[in-house]
């Protein structure tokens, strides 16, 4: 009886540990493929679109993007 409980407990702990490492690896590869946008990337995008971005405009767009992500 005790061996069954010990076996189930070890199986649950092992499952949690394996799940954590799989989720971590998946998230790391996702962030490598799709990095979050920072101010430098936003500035380059705006310059490619023909706009001359000011720091104020970049800050406004960063706040808008952060607000958008929080509502999801």
Looking at the predicted structure, is the pLDDT value of residue 65 above 80? yes
68, two tokens = 């958008």
36, two tokens = 């979050």
Mean pLDDT of the chain: 90
pTM of the model: 0.55
Confidence of residue 51 (pLDDT cuts 50, 70, 90): confident
Looking at the predicted structure, is the pLDDT value of residue 47 above 80? yes
Q: Are 62 and 42 in contact (CB under 8 A)?
A: yes
Q: Cα–Cα distance between 54 and 57 in angstroms, integer? A: 5
Could you tell me the CA-to-CA distances from 34 to 25, 69, 70 in Å, in that order? 14, 15, 18
């Amino acid at each position: 009886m005790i061996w069954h409980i010990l076996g189930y407990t070890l199986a649950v702990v092992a499952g949690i540990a394996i799940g954590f490492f799989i989720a971590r690896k998946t998230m790391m590869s996702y962030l490598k493929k799709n990095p979050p946008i920072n101010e430098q990337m936003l500035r380059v995008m705006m310059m490619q679109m023909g706009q001359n971005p000011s720091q104020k405009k970049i800050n406004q767009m960063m706040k808008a993007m952060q607000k958008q992500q929080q509502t999801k």
